[in-house]
Structure formats: structure tokens, C-alpha cells
Amino acid sequence: MTSKLATLANQTPTVKMLLDGKFIESQTSEWQDVVNPATQEVLAQVPFATDDEINAAVASASKAYKTWKNTPLATRARIMLKLQALVREHMSSIAHTLSAEQGKTLADAEGDVFRGLEVVEHACSIGTLQLGEFAENVAGGVDTYTLRQPIGVCGGISPFNFPAMIPLWMFPMAIVCGNTFVLKPSEQDPLTPMLLAELALQAGVPPGVLNIIHGGKRAVDAICTHPDIVAVSFVGSTAVGTHVYNLASQHGKRVQCMMGAKNHAVVMPDANKEQSLNALVGSTFGAAGQRCMATSVTVLVGDAQKWIPDIVAKAKTLKVNAGVEKGADLGPVVSKNAKNRVLGLVEDGIKEGAKLELDGRGIKVPGYEKGNFIGPTIFSGVTPEMKIYTTEIFGPVMVIVGVNTLNEAITLINNNPFGNGTGIFTQSGAAARKFQSEIDVGQVGINVPIPVPVPSFSFTGSRGSKLGDLGPYGKQAVQFYTQTKTITSRWFDDSSTSTGVNTTISLK
Ligand code: NAD
């Protein structure tokens, strides 16, 4: 694949915007470095789009909507079929770019692309996903039916931690439903979304149907307030998501915000120890803890509290290295700021009296001395008032809370404001069933550590992890990106007998 990054002699490449089907250099004076978190090498510079450029993206999407909304379902589905084939073909090169700008291991970067690819595969079924409903003879000779029609120009704002998967949660579902889209990816890793955009054009997405602008708060606020944007899909932190939800709602838009998390995994003493601890350690430290569905709180019930040394021993076996290096289990965190933030929270945990069982600070990775690495870090004796419990750490830090009973674990989790994901490890069907029934969290794993649903379902985080009714991808995304029109019809031919004037609301 030819990257559209223009490499001028001796200059850092610049990230282009996608406007009206063309990759365009921004005229802005505001640029930010895109940095490899393992090496600090500047990979590119990303522009913060000007107001004119943002308006041009929306204008292009508005113009394209006029024809795209009438494009036959089969044409839209075929473009998605082509896109899924292209993403699959270029999986490895996308994963290399993703790993370089985000820090993930190559295997995990492929996973990032793959989970997004699954959404594209699902979008190929739009012929059945966008079906309406029909009821014959709801009154004498009267039929009622619904259409699922596109809604217009939609905006998407994505986070740094899944630069392939989350843009792919957004634009394929939006455009396959007949909408046009303006995406604002994270300014920390915009190269991966631009590779996906290249593939989307190759797959046949017409000019203006997908536009990409770059930037930060100003671009986000412009998307939330632009009069020609009808819906906004946001994925990112709770602070920004709440702002986006309020601003876009006040401007009359349909909004969905998937936000921060504090995911608890409950380990019962009857759990299969080896399987459960492997799952816990993988889901806590994988992607250096920078997953919204990472296990961040381990709740050990009863005798399972004796397993702390085994957890520490397993965490010690993980290899911290640059994502491109063979055998790496976790790479660096995304930026120096992110590293300093995580280290500050570890300091807080120590000051607040939690027991530091494993200290990943100060880790040195040979050949990558400047990288933003933090090794697996484990606290035990954590209580719900501590900052390391109340705050989403978003780094490779496990906090362990001990409780005596499953009821105590459920109460602890239900008292936590977040509701993204949770899990239970047990061999007891009764315990698992009680947990799934009583837990107030939107996504539950039973002996499954990261219960991110496949796209024939939807991503269903809840409570403090979500604003808006409908989630991204799956059935709920089709509802989010369409509006229902209900038609009630009756036909008369010349032989119809007049029923007279009806002054009531009843259908006769
Ligand atoms: P972030 O909120 O900092 O950034 C998300 C987007 O908002 C980016 O595009 C960014 O440019 C923009 N932004 C940043 N600051 C802004 C501001 N002040 N005003 C307006 N826009 C702003 O999130 P992040 O650090 O990129 O991603 C990590 C967060 O995302 C974590 O909290 C994680 O839990 C969450 N997340 C949630 C889900 C989910 O499905 N619930 C999935 C992935 C990530």
C-alpha cells in the first residue's frame, strides 16, 4: 500500500486530511508530533485543522449525502465486502504502523485491526440489518410498515488506544446505512486511521462519503456544534465524553459516548486457578493496561486471596519490550505524559498504604532506553477510598481487593460508578448465574477476561461508562445511524365503498 504521507526531502512527513475524496495538506499553523512511544522517534506531524477545513469536510459530507443516501443497499454492501478484503490483505502493514505509533505488540496490533475488521464483515449484511417491518390489515384495508432511513452527516471522535478498531466501529456502520461521515481520530496516532481511509477509497467509497480531519478540542467542539451534523459517536475518556455528550445534545444531535472504566474481575476460590490467573494477568497487563475493557481491579474472594504470590509470579514472566520485538508481551504506554500520570498514581497508592507487591517503575528495556515503559505493577490491600481504586489508571497496574463473599464482591462492583465490563472466574454455575443476574455492569464475562461482544451483538457498556442509549456496532449501531419512518397506508380503487366521514381518531 502506498502511504499518502508526503515525505519531502529531509522533512518530517505530514499527515493529510481526507476532504472530498482527496488527501489534502492542511494550511494550519498548528502541528503536533506523532511519536513512536518505544523510541521517541517523530514519525510524522499531524495538523490541527483550521475552521475552514473543518467546514469544508462537513460541506463535502453534506453534498455527498444527497446522492449516497439513495445508493442501493447492494452497492453499499459490495463496497464493504471490498473493504473487508482490503483490510484483511493489508492487516500486517496496518499492524506495523499501528504498533509504531501506539506502542502495542504486533500481535495485539493485528488484534486491534481484526476486531475492527469484524465490524466491516458485519456491515456487509446491511441488506438484512436495515430491513423495516410490515403489518398487513392493521385496520380494514390498512397496512403499516416502517422504513429504516439514513439520518445525514454523522461525526466520529475516536481515542488513541484502538486506532484501527474504533474508527472501524464508526465509519463503516454509519456509511453502510446511507449516511456520510466526518471522522476526527486521536491526534496521538492518526496514521492508522489514514491507512484505513486509503483502503476505504480503494474499496469504492465515493468522494465526500468519508472525510477525515485532525485536531483536538477545537475540532471536537466544531463537530459537536456544526448545524449540518446530525449525530456524534464518541469513544474516549469520561471527562471528554461528558463534555461531548452535553455539547452535542444541546445542539440537537443524536449522541453516543463510550467512556472510561474500572473493570473488576472476581476470582472465586473454586475457579480453575491456572486458567483464571493466566486470563487475569493477560487482561490486566496486555496493551500495557490501555484498554477500556482491561481488568483493572482483581477481587479475590475468600481463599483465593492466597493466590497473590502466584499472580505476582505470573506477572514477572511477562516480557516488556518495544511492540515490534519478538516475544514482547507488553509495550510502552502511549506518551511521556501518560507514563508520568501512571507513575503519579503508583506513588499515590504507596502513600495511601496499599501494599506494592510488584514494582514496575524504573524498568529499563535494552535498546529502547527512551521508551515510555512501565513494567507490570501490582498492589494488594487496596480499599475503595484509595485513588488507585477510584481512578482509571490506564497503565499496567493491577489493584487487588480482598473480600470474603460473592455478595461483598457484587456490592463493591455495583457501588463503583463505572459499568463497562466485569467478569467472574468460577466453576460454579450457581455463582456465575447469581453474578450475571445481580451485577449492574453492561458487559459480563464468565471465565472470559475481556468480554467485548462480537459485532452481531453490540458494545453495551453501562452506567458511568456510557452516555446515550445506543452502543456502537451491531444491531444498536443500525438503530443509531438510521431513523424509523412509519407509514400507514390504505388504497382505494374505483369499486371501493365509501365509509363516510370519520371524525374520530380510530382507524376503521
Ligand atoms: P480522550 O478522551 O483524551 O480523547 C478522545 C478524543 O477526544 C480524542 O480524539 C481527542 O483528540 C479528543 N479530546 C481530547 N481532549 C479533549 C477536550 N478537552 N475536548 C474535546 N476533545 C478532546 O481519550 P484517550 O486518552 O484518547 O483514550 C483513552 C480513554 O478512552 C480511556 O478513558 C478509555 O477507557 C476510553 N475508552 C473507552 C472505550 C469504551 O468503549 N468505553 C473504548 C476505548 C477507550
Q: How far is CA 352 from CA 312, 348, 388, 399, in A?
A: 21, 6, 9, 13
> Of 113 and 505, which is predicted with more confidence?
113
Stretch 210-239: mean pLDDT: 98
Question: What cell numbers appear for 468 in the block?
Answer: 446515550
Establish whether residue 419 lines the binding site of ligand 1, counting it when its CB lies within 6 angstroms of any ligand atom.
Answer: no
What does the DSSP assignment read for 167-213? HHHHHHHHHHTT-EEEEE--TTS-HHHHHHHHHHHHHTPPTTTEEE-
Q: Which one of the listed residues 124, 177, 257, 292 is annotated catalytic?
A: 292
> Of 507 and 245, which is predicted with more confidence?
245
Minimum CA distance residue for ligand 1 atom 18: 217
The pLDDT value recorded for residue 8 is 45
CB-count exposure of residue 364 (10 Å: 0-12, 13-18, 19+): exposed
Distance CA 407, CA 418 (A): 18
The pLDDT value recorded for residue 507 is 84
Q: State the pLDDT confidence band at 7, using cuts at 50, 70 and 90.
A: very low
Q: Please state whether beta strands 22-24 and 17-19 pair in parallel, antiparallel, or not at all (unpaired).
A: antiparallel
Question: What cell numbers appear for 360 in the block?
Answer: 514496575
The pLDDT value recorded for residue 11 is 83
Cα 240 to middle of ligand 1, angstroms: 6
Q: Supply angle C-alpha 219, 224, 229, rounded to 5.
A: 105
pLDDT beyond 70 at 4: no
Is residue 257 flagged as an active site residue? no
Q: Are 342 and 374 in contact (CB under 8 A)?
A: yes
Q: How far is CA 297 from CA 283, 293, 415, in A?
A: 11, 11, 14
**Mutation to probe ligand 1, out of 161, 165, 297, 390 (largest number of atoms < 8 A from CB):** 161
Instruction: Looking at the CA of residue 461, tell me the nearest atom of ligand 1.
Output: 41
Helices (H), 32-185: 51-68, 73-89, 91-102, 106-123, 126-129, 165-176
The pLDDT value recorded for residue 354 is 98
Average pLDDT over the chain reads: 96
Q: State the pLDDT confidence band at 497, using cuts at 50, 70 and 90.
A: confident
Establish whether residue 259 lines the binding site of ligand 1, counting it when its CB lies within 6 angstroms of any ligand atom.
Answer: yes
The pLDDT value recorded for residue 60 is 98
Strand blocks (E) in 236-348 = 254-258, 263-267, 295-301
List beta partners, residue 34.
Answer: 44
Stretch 326-332: mean pLDDT: 97
Distance CA 277, CA 106 (A): 23
Q: State the pLDDT confidence band at 24, using cuts at 50, 70 and 90.
A: very high
Distance CA 230, CA 251 (A): 9
Encode 358-417 in three state secondary structure: ECCCCCCCCCCCCCCCCCCEEEECCCCCCHHHHCCCCCCEEEEEEECCHHHHHHHHHHCC
What backbone phi and psi angles, to 5 degrees, belong to 18? -110, 105
> Of 6 and 354, which is predicted with more confidence?
354
Helix (H, G, I), strand (E, B) or coil at 292: coil
> Each residue of 167-192: pLDDT tens digit?
999 999 999 999 999 999 999 999 99
Residue 302 CA from chain centroid, whole number: 35
Instruction: Looking at the CA of residue 238, tell me the nearest atom of ligand 1.
Output: 32
Distance CA 455, CA 355 (A): 40
Residue 166 identity (one-letter amino acid): I
Minimum CA distance residue for ligand 1 atom 17: 217
The pLDDT value recorded for residue 506 is 87
Quote the percentage of the chain above a pLDDT of 70: 98
Cα 266 to middle of ligand 1, angstroms: 27
Give the DSSP letter of residue 39.
T
pLDDT beyond 80 at 3: no
Cα 236 to middle of ligand 1, angstroms: 3
Cα 239 to middle of ligand 1, angstroms: 8
Establish whether residue 458 lines the binding site of ligand 1, counting it when its CB lies within 6 angstroms of any ligand atom.
Answer: no
> Each residue of 106-119: pLDDT tens digit?
999 999 999 999 99
> Each residue of 433-482: pLDDT tens digit?
999 999 999 999 999 999 999 999 999 999 999 999 999 999 999 999 99
Which of left, alpha, beta for 315 (phi over 0: left; psi -120 to 50: alpha)?
Answer: alpha
The pLDDT value recorded for residue 10 is 55
